[in-house]
Each structure stands twice: as C-alpha cells, then as structure tokens.
Amino acid sequence: MIELVFSVRDVARARFSSSPMDHLLLGAVGAARGHYVGASSTRERWWRRVRAQAPAKAAPFIDLVNASSEGMPDFLGADVLGHCRRLSDELDGITAVRDDVVRSDLAMYEQVPRVPRIVEELRDEGSAALRRVADAAWALHRACLAPDWPDMERALQTDIQRRARTMAEQGPGVMLGTLHPQLAWHDRGVLEYTEPAGFDGVWSVPLEGRGLELRPSLFLQEGVGFLLQDGRQPTVFHPVTPGSHRDGPPDPRDGLAVLLGPAKARVLRAVGPGKGTTELARCLGIKPPTASAHAAALRAAGLVATTRQGRTVRHTLTPLGADLLDANPG
C-alpha cells in the first residue's frame, strides 16, 4: 500500500498537466511483450497501427524503455513546468540531467543479463549519451505520435477539465478519490493506493508542501503510476475518464477511419482537390508540422501526391486515394 500524506498546502497545490513524453514512453513499451506496464488495448492498438512507421533512428529510445521488465530509468521523466507540456522542453530537461544521476539510475540494469547497446553507451559516456536518447525519442515522436497528438491532447484536456470541475464543485478529496478505483481519499489527508497484487507493508510519503501533479494518460488502463523520487515533483499518472478519448475505436461504419485511423482519415478527406500544408492545417485546426506529418504518411501509403513549386507545397489525391474516398464518403 502507498500512502500520500497531504498538508493543507499540498491540497491547495494539486495541479494537472498533460505530457507527450508520458505517451511516448508508454507507447514505446508497445514494442515489447511482457513488460512491466499493464495491458492497455488503446496503447496496443495505437502501436499496431504506427509500428511500421517507426524509424531506425528511434531504436535507442525504444531499446532503453524496454531494457528491463522492472521499469525505466527515472531520468526519462524530466521535471517541466506547464499545464500543456511540450516535448521539446521535456527532451531538453532529459539532456540536462547530471552525469551522477544518470549513472545512479543505470544501477537498475545491474541484474539484467544482456542490455541493449544504448545502456552500455550511457554507462560509458554518462550524460553525454543522453542527446542520442533525445534524438531517438524525437524521431519516434515525429513519425508515430505527432500525427495523432492533437486529437490525444484534446482528449487529455477534456479529462482535466472534468476533474477540475469536480474539484471546484465537490472538493479536492472527492476529485482525488475518483482518479482510479484503487485510490481512496481519507479525511485525515491521506490518498491511499492499494495495489491489486498485494504489496506487503505501507509506504508512507509525506508531500511536505510540494503539492501533487496529476497527469492523465490515454495509454494507461490498469492501475496508476507514481513518481516519488527525492527532489522531484510528486506525480500520479492515472487513466483518463472513460469517454474522454476521442481517438478510441473508430466508428465501424466508417471504413476509412478503420483502415487509416480517425486522424489520417480526416486529413485525406480534407485534401479534396488539393491543398497546401498551411491551408490543410487551418482547415483541420491543427499545426502545419502535424499536417505535414499526416500528409507524409498518406503519401507513403500512395494515397496523396505532393508537388513543390519554389517554397510552396501542394497535396493532391492520387487515383487510389480518390477511389478510397469514393468508396468511403463518410
């Protein structure tokens, strides 16, 4: 059992945030079987859909995340302030981790008989090798997560708004007690987590005025996660409220969304007779880099053709893309 002990100041300092790095870490776990993270149909469905797009450059990050069945090094969860975290800031936080912290966190691999190359490089080079990890994480994000992140971020913010409303109307204790069935709030100021496998003893953690950061996850379904490291912001990772996830199973009546995923289906339909990247982004309410990533994935599938005239890029449907739309008008 884990007990988080709140003071009045801690209750007042409870806050929410969303993190692309959380989802990149849990998403990369989809590359391995039998990992320490509980089963998640959402995560596994996402990984099946995007794994063919994972670039070779992402291998160091995927290998590091899956190197041990016991967990992943704490330095991958850098402290970053902000309600909506940016991956670039999170990766900057990782590359700034001190050499002694990196080497200390690597102790978790001492009992692993065969570690991937990136772990050996981190042992040899310390924090100097973190740039390699960050570059690999960025490559995985651009190829696999970035196209879906706008939809995912909207679902996370919907969950945060619901919980913030519960906190405002019914109090922080009620909100904390509804994060997960295994979490219970007690009036003495304790948030209690009972692990289903049965954890011997009680681990009591006074928050001591640091507050608590609450981070919803679309890739976490079984249980909750904790970051309770000395000198770090205490954090609880919890599943989103059922119904918050807009990128859940696609409508089975929409064959295009079933085939491509909801996000890419919307992009293909928006291309129409032809659009530039900026125009496409404006039409869908997403950022141009995200629109560009979607278009690149559709181009690789032979559904979209891209032409460039000077600095202008224009995306049009290929005959195959047009036929697919005709068969699935949506």
Same-domain pairing of 187 and 309: no
The CATH number covering residue 299 comes to 1.10.10.10
Angle at 221 between CA 219 and CA 222, to 5 degrees: 130
SS (H, E, C) 60-128: HHHHHHCCCCCCCCHHHCCCCCCCECCHHHHHHHHHCCCHHHHHHHHHHHCCCCCCCHHHHHHHHHHHH
- How many residues comprise the chain? 330
The count of domains in the chain is 3
Q: Which of 212, 239, 266 is the last residue of a domain?
A: 239
The answer to whether residue 229 sits within a structural domain is yes
**Maximum C-alpha span of the chain:** 67
Same-domain pairing of 132 and 167: no
pLDDT along the chain (330 residues), means of 10: 90 90 87 54 84 93 88 79 77 92 91 91 94 96 90 89 88 88 89 71 88 91 80 87 51 69 84 86 81 86 86 87 79
Q: Which of 215, 239, 263 is the last residue of a domain?
A: 239
Residue-number span of the structural domain to which 306 is assigned: 255-327
Same-domain pairing of 208 and 283: no
60: tokens are 């160091």
The answer to whether residue 316 sits within a structural domain is yes
**Interatomic CA distance for residues 28 and 41, integer angstroms:** 14
**Interatomic CA distance for residues 27 and 34, integer angstroms:** 14
So what's the pLDDT on residue 251?
Answer: 54
The answer to whether residue 30 sits within a structural domain is yes
Same-domain pairing of 172 and 71: no
**Interatomic CA distance for residues 281 and 34, integer angstroms:** 39
CB 138 within 8 A of CB 149: no
So what's the pLDDT on residue 266?
Answer: 85
So what's the pLDDT on residue 247?
Answer: 44
